[in-house]
Structure 1
Amino acid sequence: MQILVRGRWHAIKPWLCARYGSQIHRKARIEDWWDMNGKHFRFTDLPAELRCCVYEQVQGQYIWPACIPQVRPLQTVSDHLWHDANVQILDPGKSNIQRTNSLFRREFLKVAWEASWKHFNCTHNLDEVISRLGGAMVMPYGIRVNCLRRINMLLPMEKYFEFVGICPSHEEPFHKRELEPTSSHVRIFRHISTLVFLNFQFEMGTYSDPWTQLASSEGYDYEPACYNVLVEWFFTFAHEHLKGIPRITASGHVKHRTKTKWERIFREEYQDRRSYEMASQIRDLEAMPPRKFPPACYCPTPCHFSEVYLPHPRGVNPGVAQSFVYDD
């Protein structure tokens, strides 16, 4: 769908984002605008593309999928934030639009599941959802939706390396764990036929990488691990298992140079059919002696977790370090 603005045609969705931004305004402000505007129309009179834009705003950007044995749809839900927490009653207001009529329900369910990001912060939920849905599912009214089109992963760095099969020991820093049939592995994404966009989100955490944890637990002297190096290592090991996915990106605590490099590699492999091999880089990493772990940070501004309260060998106190610097 396109809109004519000053003699030129524009795609409606990019034009709306450029004109009004992506921020969702408060309901009161929207109602004030309606009062001043004075225009009334039936929602069904809007083109389907605009109705879909409304559904996207109602649903929000993320869905956290999880498999629940029994669920009663369109009922008040309880949110337990932790064990034995007080029950917090949430108003499922987003469900109201589904109750209007069958047309809106069909459209909303399809947009909500296909346009939103499915966010996973543990591999257990990812495995369960993929094994049960396989990328698509049938909703009420026989609506078939490709629910795993966009996936966002956010794991601690230790779990990211487990995800590529790395469980190090001090004698063997890149020890490969034996994968059982139920073991989660990054190659699982290649079995999702509907996947078109995969994002890996990184956030620094205290002792979050396996080598720092190992050195800390065994009393070795070490520098805080370089987070940029850890991200590089993860993609080096994951690369072979991610081929064939249309779009792969990185976000969060990722240096711009690292983000640009790996997004270009994945893009050129998929779009231009170029071939990149990481076998030699992996052999070089596996040949590194144990004393090189965890990888020391030599970035101009140390890119390790700012709350690891240890004196840094180069005189920088991580406890008062600057926030993550993306450009050095």
Structure 2
Amino acid sequence: MVCLISSMMEFEGFETQKPNETSAIRLCHTSCNLLDVGTLESYLATVKGWLDQNPFEVIAIMMGNNNGQDTRNPATDYIAPFQSSGIMEYIWTPPSASLNLTDWPTLAEMIIRNKRVVVMLDYGADQEQVPWLLSEFNYQWQTPFSPTDPAFPCTEQRPPNQPEEVSRERMYVMNHNLNIEVSLPGVSSILIPAYSLLDEINAVSGNGSVGLNVQNCEKMWTRPPNWILVDYYNYGNFNGSVFQVAATANNVTYNEQSCCGTEGTSAAHALRSQGLFIASLFVGAYLLCELIATPLINPQEVLSTYVRCCPPPSDKLEMLDHGKEKYKYTFEPAPRQNDPVIRYIIRLIRDMKAKHIGVAAMNFRVEPTDKSSPFWLALPDYTTYCSKLYTFVDSVDEFPVTAWVTFAPAMPGPTENNLHLKIGKEWVVLKDWLLSSQMPAKELVGEKGYRAQRTWWRLNGKHFRLADLPTEMRMKIFEFALGPRIYPLTTSKDAEVRFGLGFRNWHDSSKIDQRHPSLLYGGREHQVTGCSAYEPNIALLSINRQTHGEALQAGWEDTRKCFFSPIQLRSVLEASTKPNYNWLNHLILDFTMSDWFSFFGVRVRSNFYMDSGVSLGPILPTLNGLSTLQLWFRSPEDGACYYPSGMRNVRWGVKHSFTCCQRTMVDWIMTFAWPFVKDLPKVRLGGILKKDTKDKWNKLLALPARDKIGIMDHAVEQAAILDTPPADM
């Protein structure tokens, strides 16, 4: 049973059973003798066809596993119907066996990656064997199931005995289907829906209404439910009232004219005509919240090929392992010929690039390996191999693949689909080999991914009107066009805060030369952490009024604001004109060790001392709307000048450099930071630092507030640091 929410997201829930060991999994309720609507595979095939026609829709499938029967279906039994239905290409796989609210991807991310189906099983899931089949109660919980209390308490029932702090960080289902206990001959009792009260139960407001229940749950858990389970969705104080409640919880407008099934066509009517009252439906409230990148295709094992390897020239031997101009082998093709076969190969590669971004990223091109004559087919019904050596150069591998290429005999041809190449002793279809050699999606990140996507779009000619996309997808596009990281700047004291100049870079690496704005702050260039942050594309703001407003909002509210020095941060906070948005919500502080000391007011002379009057630490708890804070640390390779007391006078006019232990520096800085960050939401360490140090502090910062009390005697710890002679660092 399906329910449309905000024209964007749909949810489906049903029971699955196997009447016997040899039976396929079927969609039944209570018993397949009472209600059997067909096989799971046929149903999923229908859903797959609908997803093909609706590329901007995301659905969640929640399945009950043989409930009411003696045994559960093994998780592996669900693999076949999902694979046979063809729906697997849309299935999303979670990054871990449980997720909190903030770990979920957004709808836009799922749509962009075309992983638009989340599948859950209430009991019996095994994510080691079937990682995409989520164990429902590791990801969400439910209010009392099959409720008989018209007050509908919003307490957590399933899974039992779950700590409250865990429940507050997980999605939850609000069960709102009132049941009545009825005794029948030969049966102790059964629960049936309170059919005569459906109009009140599914109403927008009033005692026992779904609208009031959502409000009560929101007060109790400080957020509305992620899912609402109701009986007979087209009953209520008006047709579609349950959708109005879900729309209100999502803070979107509901179009009453777009809903719902009539009594004559609804599941409620069909079941009532059989004397059964067992229809229920999921209604979504709230959006799924960072999706881990998944490969478009699993690369096959490296294929053995014929490769022509040439030794490097003698004058290049010293450049093999070091130096900026490291020697790299370059293939020298034979002269081009009037070759009809190579034209077929080029056409196939071009088509494959247009269809597969991984192939486009490899930038395959074909060259004749030697000067041997081209071949062509003498007769249409050719029966022997005619072949020639070709070399396939790409942008990744230093040594290109060289192999014999032919049109396979006794097959319709010549066509691009009939091209084969010889891998070892076997002939394989050239198209299949190109797919097996494409770049995995997990590697299409940063500038490499952007280049591949631009090439792919240019080749396939696909385009769309930006305004036709759902709002959330437009906002995601604006976020990445302007960010996703920006470095806010002010051009002079007390001036307006601007998006910044970005960090232009000619390569992607863990350290980026920051050439432009760094000289405005502190008079020296910086090595910052992370990949390139390009200058925000503010041309978006000139398209039209709607785009101007949406892009500004996305640029200030959805991006991460990065600061590479305390001076930069202070100048932005003290600016007279600031953005009229919740813009200080996601911050990254990426300072040198010396700047971290200065940020918390720690001075270094003959000894350490704390100057609380210049510390910027007290500013952090006062930042309105701060949701996430990342504290990044630089590489020890930044040099001694970026460490406190890193350059010391050893005698008159002579200085030596001293690079301190980074682990010690991070521990000290986090001790200084502790009173200012311990109560902030979602603080994390990042950048280049030891894993054990990072894990230790992230674990402490993730503790509930009450557990942080007594973690450390801050005054004693800080005093011990300040009493350390700089010479002992």
TM-score band (shorter)? 0.5 to 0.7
The question of 1:64 aligning with 2:487 is answered yes
Pick from 614, 617, 620 the counterpart of residue 186 of structure 1: 617
CA distance in 1, matches of 2:699, 2:541: 40
Partner of 1:250: 685
Alpha-carbon distance, 1:28 to partner: 7.6
1:276-326 Cα deviation digits (max 9, x unpaired):
3333322333444x3x7343xxxxxxxxxxxxxxxxxxxxxxxxxxxxxxx
**Conserved in 2, the CA contact under 8 Å of 1:212 and 1:294?**
no
C-alpha distance 233-177 of structure 1, shift in aligned 2 (>3 A): same
CA distance in 2, matches of 1:253, 1:94: 29
**Conserved in 1, the CA contact under 8 Å of 2:678 and 2:708?**
no
CA distance in 1, matches of 2:467, 2:566: 41
CA distance in 1, matches of 2:481, 2:582: 19
The question of 1:137 aligning with 2:572 is answered no
Pick from 674, 682, 699 the counterpart of residue 239 of structure 1: 674
CA distance in 2, matches of 1:96, 1:222: 46
Pick from 572, 581, 590 the counterpart of residue 154 of structure 1: 590
The question of 1:115 aligning with 2:574 is answered no
Partner of 2:528: none
C-alpha distance 113-133 of structure 1, shift in aligned 2 (>3 A): farther
Pick from 703, 711, 721 the counterpart of residue 285 of structure 1: 721
C-alpha distance 110-230 of structure 1, shift in aligned 2 (>3 A): same
SS in 2 for 1:236: helix
Partner of 2:630: 199
**Conserved in 2, the CA contact under 8 Å of 1:202 and 1:251?**
yes
CA distance in 1, matches of 2:673, 2:685: 13
Alpha-carbon distance, 1:107 to partner: 1.1
1:198-256 Cα deviation digits (max 9, x unpaired):
11221133222223334657879996421110111110111112232112122222111
Partner of 1:12: 107
CA distance in 2, matches of 1:147, 1:217: 49
Q: What TM-score comes out, normalization by structure 2 length?
A: 0.33
User: Which residue identity does 1:153 align to in structure 2?
Assistant: L
Partner of 1:320: none
Unaligned runs of 5+ in 2: 1-7, 10-57, 60-86, 93-104, 114-290, 295-440, 500-515, 521-533
C-alpha distance 107-80 of structure 1, shift in aligned 2 (>3 A): closer
CA distance in 2, matches of 1:196, 1:233: 25
SS in 2 for 1:251: strand
Alpha-carbon distance, 1:96 to partner: 3.0
User: Which residue identity does 1:191 align to in structure 2?
Assistant: T
1:80-102 Cα deviation digits (max 9, x unpaired):
8869xxxxxxx988233322222
Pick from 192, 196, 210 the counterpart of residue 644 of structure 2: 210
Partner of 1:30: 454
**Conserved in 2, the CA contact under 8 Å of 1:169 and 1:214?**
no
| Higher strand residue share | 2
Please say which of residues 228-237 and 100-109 is displaced more in the overlay: 100-109
Matched length: 268
**Conserved in 1, the CA contact under 8 Å of 2:481 and 2:536?**
no
Alpha-carbon distance, 1:262 to partner: 0.9
**Conserved in 2, the CA contact under 8 Å of 1:215 and 1:294?**
no
Pick from 159, 162, 167 the counterpart of residue 603 of structure 2: 167
The question of 1:227 aligning with 2:662 is answered yes
Alpha-carbon distance, 1:40 to partner: 4.9
Unaligned runs of 5+ in 1: 84-90, 139-144, 296-328
C-alpha distance 293-157 of structure 1, shift in aligned 2 (>3 A): same
User: Which residue identity does 1:137 align to in structure 2?
Assistant: P
Partner of 2:465: 42
1:144-192 Cα deviation digits (max 9, x unpaired):
x11111111122211211211211233xx3212251xxx3522211111
CA distance in 2, matches of 1:164, 1:93: 30
Please say which of residues 248-257 and 60-69 is displaced more in the overlay: 60-69
CA distance in 1, matches of 2:602, 2:702: 25
Identity value in percent = 21
1:93-148 Cα deviation digits (max 9, x unpaired):
823332222222111111111111211122122112223379x732xxxxxx1111
User: Which residue identity does 1:206 align to in structure 2?
Assistant: G
C-alpha distance 30-215 of structure 1, shift in aligned 2 (>3 A): same
Q: What TM-score comes out, normalization by structure 1 length?
A: 0.68
CA distance in 1, matches of 2:609, 2:582: 37
CA distance in 2, matches of 1:264, 1:164: 22
C-alpha distance 115-294 of structure 1, shift in aligned 2 (>3 A): farther
**Conserved in 2, the CA contact under 8 Å of 1:190 and 1:242?**
yes
| Structure with the larger RCO, 1 or 2 (CA within 8 Å, 6+ apart) | 1
SS in 1 for 2:561: strand
CA distance in 2, matches of 1:35, 1:64: 34
User: Which residue identity does 2:639 align to in structure 1?
Assistant: T
C-alpha distance 286-98 of structure 1, shift in aligned 2 (>3 A): closer
Partner of 1:301: none
Alpha-carbon distance, 1:260 to partner: 0.9
Partner of 2:570: 127
Alpha-carbon distance, 1:32 to partner: 4.2
SS in 2 for 1:66: coil
Alpha-carbon distance, 1:33 to partner: 3.4
C-alpha distance 212-82 of structure 1, shift in aligned 2 (>3 A): closer
C-alpha distance 11-95 of structure 1, shift in aligned 2 (>3 A): closer
**Conserved in 2, the CA contact under 8 Å of 1:190 and 1:245?**
yes
User: Which residue identity does 1:103 align to in structure 2?
Assistant: Q
User: Which residue identity does 1:254 align to in structure 2?
Assistant: L
CA distance in 1, matches of 2:685, 2:553: 26
C-alpha distance 29-254 of structure 1, shift in aligned 2 (>3 A): closer
C-alpha distance 257-30 of structure 1, shift in aligned 2 (>3 A): same
CA RMSD in angstroms, aligned pairs only: 3.7
Pick from 524, 531, 545 the counterpart of residue 102 of structure 1: 545
CA distance in 2, matches of 1:151, 1:285: 27
